[in-house]
Amino acid sequence: MSLIKTFSKKLIAWHGVDGRQGLPWQNNRDPYAVWVSEIMLQQTQVATVLERYPRFMKRFPTVKRLAAADIDEVLAEWAGLGYYSRARNLHACAKQVMEQFSGKFPSDPVLLEQLKGIGRSTAGAIAAFAFHERAPILDANVKRILARLFCIDGALQDKKVNDQLWSLASSLLPTKSEDMPIYTQALMDFGATWCTSRKPVCLTGERKCPFAKECQANLSDQVLLFPQKTIKAKSPEFDCDMLLLRHGNQVLLQKRPSKAIWGGLWCLPESAWVAKAKVSKVGATPKLEDLLALTLSNETAGPLLKLGKQVERGENIKHIFTHRRLWIQIWNVQTSKAYAFASGDLKWVPLAKLGQYGLPQPIKLLLQGLSLARGDDLKN
């Protein structure tokens, strides 16, 4: 019998023995809980989600509570998970569900896909888990499995290849809708634990893959050649300066624009990011007026120039994003007063209250270090 007909049954049987069991978001038909777990699991390891998901659900137990929260509260809870557009989209989507669907997630994947931050695969997962809809998923793991099973030619970014994979994913679905949650979970687990990118079980020989005799990549000894890859350009590298202005136990934070990297989070005033110099060298310590001109507007720089003391070179932090690297040079400056700014985007924040603000991970670690050195307790 062809693999198309037998795939779902075999995969469900595999899950019964070797799939992941007992994850807190499994066997849950609440679309809100399913949706939060699906968004959190994108680009985040399961081990991290296991720790952070219950905490998020405790703080925002319903879509109504999440929609009513302040975005700063959501970003603070998300801090450390990265890809902050996910948190902003969660918040915006919760509002959409409240306003457009009276607080109830729709079951139709086409409608789900129209919500903020929900792509076709996530819509399929929510529809399958919460509503038992026969909707396919196609995340990176599933693409890899299908590309190998059927030796799909062409890079995954190619629209034709993508369309072909979606059509395959649909044709492999179980016929009974009540099997959809377990099938969808099995597909995710099989890609994450058995048909992995670098060490699929058919190559390591650790376990016997249930598809070994039908998988075309395995039969033709080309497993690691699928999915076919496009050649990646080297990640660009950038330099920037950040100003760590302190008055006593307070630091000056600036809210980032919502569309930028780390959008909507609170950060230190920073200069524009410039392409990293080919040969890095440690230059002289800049004057305060030059640093202020690089990092803040004229109106804010003026009062700080009068209040700031000596500039001291601080840490040089390397932060790696998925598609770029950033070197941050910290400059420490004490001020004689915590000048009260008219702009709500600039705030003096006591170190002990940093836990109430969503901060980019490298800045959070830097300020936590300061806080611990002072013996402050960072309240979350």
Closest CB to ligand SF4 among residues 9, 64: 9
Q: Are 195 and 144 in contact (CB under 8 A)?
A: yes
For CA atoms 257, 261, 264, 268, give the dihedral sign: negative
In whole angstroms, the minimum distance from the beta carbon of 37 to ligand SF4 comes to 25
Give the whole-angstrom CA distance, residue 122 versus residue 348: 39
In whole angstroms, the minimum distance from the beta carbon of 201 to ligand SF4 comes to 5
Annotated active-site residue in 38, 113, 133, 270? 38
Closest CB to ligand SF4 among residues 148, 256: 148
- Which of 287, 291, 299, 286 lies closest to 346 in space, CA to CA? 299
* Residue 49 phi, psi dihedral angles, 5° rounding: -65, -35
In whole angstroms, the minimum distance from the beta carbon of 145 to ligand SF4 comes to 6
Buried b / exposed e along 206-232 (16+ C-beta atoms within 10 A): eeebbbeebbbbbeeeebeebbeeeee
* Residue 11 phi, psi dihedral angles, 5° rounding: -70, -40
HSE value, Cβ hemisphere, 13 Å, CA-based, for 49 = 17
DSSP state of 177: G
Write the single-letter amino acid at 7.
Answer: F
Closest CB to ligand SF4 among residues 145, 338: 145
Closest CB to ligand SF4 among residues 13, 277: 13
In whole angstroms, the minimum distance from the beta carbon of 100 to ligand SF4 comes to 40
In whole angstroms, the minimum distance from the beta carbon of 101 to ligand SF4 comes to 38
The H or E element spanning position 239 is: strand 237-247
Which positions touch ligand SF4 (CB under 6 A)? 145, 148-149, 194-195, 200-202, 209, 211-212, 215, 217-218, 223
Q: Are 182 and 15 in contact (CB under 8 A)?
A: yes
**Residue 250 pairs with which residues in a beta bridge?**
247, 350
In whole angstroms, the minimum distance from the beta carbon of 168 to ligand SF4 comes to 13
Closest CB to ligand SF4 among residues 69, 195: 195
Closest CB to ligand SF4 among residues 171, 280: 171
CA distances for 233 relative to 151, 157, 236, 239, 324, angstroms: 25, 15, 9, 19, 11
The H or E element spanning position 186 is: helix 180-189
- Is residue 237 part of the annotated active site? The answer reads no
Three-state secondary-structure class, residue 253:
strand
Q: Are 77 and 101 in contact (CB under 8 A)?
A: no
The residues assigned a catalytic role are 38
